Chains A and B, each alone.
Chain A
């Protein structure tokens, strides 16, 4: 008896386990039947915006879209080399027939990034201001970053079905932690002597946040935005499994049918997008720190 107890881990009986799992699934299913429509309605504005943005990119004449992109890239990075490199990358993408998918991916990445910034920065500020918020948020962020994304795809799909919004949610859940963490870090790293000076001159908490803490944390926050964009791009293939259009879908098709060339082309297009986003956001991040070196422009 003793020996048996030590060699086999004492586990719940199969019936009990099945009962627990079934009960859990049933109650979640009941919840999603009850509230699924309401929750979907909440995301309607986001969906409209996403669809509108995607249509705009796909239906406008490609030269206009390309010129707009290059203009944004140039004014973001102020580097001719990055702009010319991007031009060639986009031309190759178009020639190899991936223009439309690329536009879909750019639109979903764009919306995800905006959502992540809109939610992530306030949450990061809250974490920096309150020890309690930090204690609560840190484990949640740990879960979001380490939980295999397929696991949280299940409840999202159960709740909202297959489509753009569940895909968007999955990408945001995966990509938002860096911007929250780095906003928190950036604000906490602001020199305490500078804050003391602000106190001595009678600044209130709002003035301290907007005139000192956020501007000084901006370079760190920008590193977070950069990370968020990169992670969102990494999720496009997984998101395509639940119906998000874009460069992920051909990759998925290539995996199931063993089309190496197709996978490679689309994979390289994702890499090209990643490099462009990275270079532009990094050099923009450097430029907003002009006070740290060199004279004003």
Chain B
């Protein structure tokens, strides 16, 4: 449908004294524990292949130690891989020289960090302008841009405060404003909301989704929280011990988990809030329209389930944005999905 923005191919990362020789072992099938025990090397990532679509939010999920933070740092090459390639817009990031890499980081990408990583000696405004200062952009222009994004993330009035005087949620808003002011096409978010309180985290997720609706950046979002992944991800990749277990749209991961690990992960999720009508509809074949209920393809189950219970329709007809019928959903199927 849309273009591939970031293409990660056969990516390996091994930490240790002699990663090249350890790489041979890993390609020969030595697993993580054995590698550590016998060769004293840590397997960070093993044969990762991931195509990230332009203007979408790609979530990478996994528990701590799964290699998700290592993976995101390969996209802007804060970490050098042991083997493989990362191609952004037809350019291999791993082949860039220092100067080109700095330019790539300045203009194409921006990053938001788990523990904010703001500059403690600079004010909110100066922090937000940091990326533009690095590019030697005219002070007046930088100031205008920075103030606009500070306002956009809801921090007007705090321009002259220092990060230490702000709460965690507000500090991460600064982190977000700093990244957005840079105006790169790629936004890398490394557990950006994980250090925040649940309520504030929800606020930040909403801000991100709202901004994404108008900015259409290519976002790579790392998280260990499945609910967060399902809420904001257009696609989700699940990492375990440096290996990618499954990659797909949220509904696929919920409805057909490929491994036991993913199955355990998705077991307790409230499906009604994640699965949309279009994910579970079947093809139309002359369904009876009497006593049918009409639902939008992008509606989550929990938006129409109450009405299904009270109205007791024979079946549900799914409509697209142009109000055409595109599929149907039987109440039996619906209850199967919810019971599982």
CA distance in complex: A83, B203 (Å): 51
Within 8 A of B (CB), among A39-83: none
Let me know if A204 and B111 touch, CB within 8 A: no
Partner among B78, B103, B107, B164 whose Cβ is within 8 Å of the Cβ of A200: B78
CA distance in complex: A216, B103 (Å): 25
Does residue A193 face the partner (Cβ distance < 8 Å to B)? yes
Let me know if A197 and B111 touch, CB within 8 A: yes
Does residue B134 face the partner (Cβ distance < 8 Å to A)? yes
Residue of B nearest to A201 (CB): B131
Does residue B337 face the partner (Cβ distance < 8 Å to A)? no
Residue of B nearest to A203 (CB): B134
CA distance in complex: A200, B93 (Å): 13
Task: Answer whether A193 and B117 are a contact pair too, CB < 8 Å, given A199-B105, A201-B134, A207-B134.
Answer: yes
Shortest C-beta distance, B124 to chain A (Å), equals 11
Let me know if B119 and A194 touch, CB within 8 A: yes
Shortest C-beta distance, B288 to chain A (Å), equals 58
* Per-position binary interface string of chain A over residues 279-293, scored 1 when its CB falls under 8 Å from any chain B CB and 0 otherwise: 000000000000111
Residue of A nearest to B175 (CB): A197
Within 8 A of A (CB), among B100-140: 101-107, 109-111, 113, 115, 117-123, 130-131, 133-135
Let me know if B182 and A199 touch, CB within 8 A: no
* Per-position binary interface string of chain B over residues 181-200, scored 1 when its CB falls under 8 Å from any chain A CB and 0 otherwise: 01000001000000000000
Does residue B38 face the partner (Cβ distance < 8 Å to A)? no
Does residue B70 face the partner (Cβ distance < 8 Å to A)? no
Let me know if B109 and A200 touch, CB within 8 A: yes
Does residue B206 face the partner (Cβ distance < 8 Å to A)? no
Does residue A261 face the partner (Cβ distance < 8 Å to B)? no
Residue of A nearest to B165 (CB): A295
Shortest C-beta distance, B294 to chain A (Å), equals 48
Does residue A196 face the partner (Cβ distance < 8 Å to B)? yes
Does residue A138 face the partner (Cβ distance < 8 Å to B)? no
* Per-position binary interface string of chain B over residues 159-185, scored 1 when its CB falls under 8 Å from any chain A CB and 0 otherwise: 011101100000000000010001000
CA distance in complex: A291, B166 (Å): 12
Let me know if B160 and A202 touch, CB within 8 A: no
Interface size for B (C-beta < 8 A) is 34
On chain A, the residues within 8 Å of B122 by CB distance are 291
Let me know if A197 and B102 touch, CB within 8 A: no
Let me know if A200 and B105 touch, CB within 8 A: yes
Q: Which 6 A-B pairs have the closest CB atoms?
A: A202-B106, A202-B105, A197-B117, A200-B111, A291-B162, A202-B102
CA distance in complex: A202, B137 (Å): 13
Shortest C-beta distance, A202 to chain B (Å), equals 4
Measuring CB to CB, which residues of chain B are less than 8 angstroms from any residue of chain A?
Answer: 76, 78, 101-107, 109-111, 113, 115, 117-123, 130-131, 133-135, 160-162, 164-165, 178, 182, 188
Partner among B76, B106, B115, B133 whose Cβ is within 8 Å of the Cβ of A193: B115
Does residue A98 face the partner (Cβ distance < 8 Å to B)? no
Partner among B104, B117, B135 whose Cβ is within 8 Å of the Cβ of A194: B117
Residue of B nearest to A288 (CB): B121
On chain B, the residues within 8 Å of A243 by CB distance are none
Q: Could you give 29 example pairs across A and B, Cβ below 8 Å?
A: A191-B117, A193-B117, A194-B117, A194-B120, A197-B111, A197-B113, A197-B117, A198-B130, A200-B105, A200-B109, A200-B111, A201-B110, A201-B111, A201-B182, A202-B101, A202-B102, A202-B103, A202-B106, A202-B131, A203-B102, A204-B102, A212-B119, A216-B120, A291-B122, A291-B162, A291-B164, A296-B123, A296-B160, A296-B161
CA distance in complex: A193, B78 (Å): 12
Let me know if A216 and B121 touch, CB within 8 A: yes
Q: A196-B117, A197-B119 are in contact. List 11 more A-B contacts (CB 8 A).
A: A193-B113, A194-B118, A196-B78, A196-B113, A199-B78, A199-B105, A200-B78, A201-B178, A201-B182, A295-B165, A296-B162
On chain B, the residues within 8 Å of A163 by CB distance are none
Shortest C-beta distance, B60 to chain A (Å), equals 17
CA distance in complex: A281, B76 (Å): 42
Does residue A211 face the partner (Cβ distance < 8 Å to B)? yes
* Per-position binary interface string of chain A over residues 214-226, scored 1 when its CB falls under 8 Å from any chain B CB and 0 otherwise: 0110000000000
Task: Answer whether A201 and B117 are a contact pair too, CB < 8 Å, given A291-B164, A292-B164, A296-B160.
Answer: no
CA distance in complex: A191, B78 (Å): 16
On chain B, the residues within 8 Å of A200 by CB distance are 76, 78, 105, 109-111, 188
On chain B, the residues within 8 Å of A202 by CB distance are 101-107, 131, 134-135
CA distance in complex: A194, B102 (Å): 17
Let me know if B121 and A215 touch, CB within 8 A: yes
On chain A, the residues within 8 Å of B188 by CB distance are 200
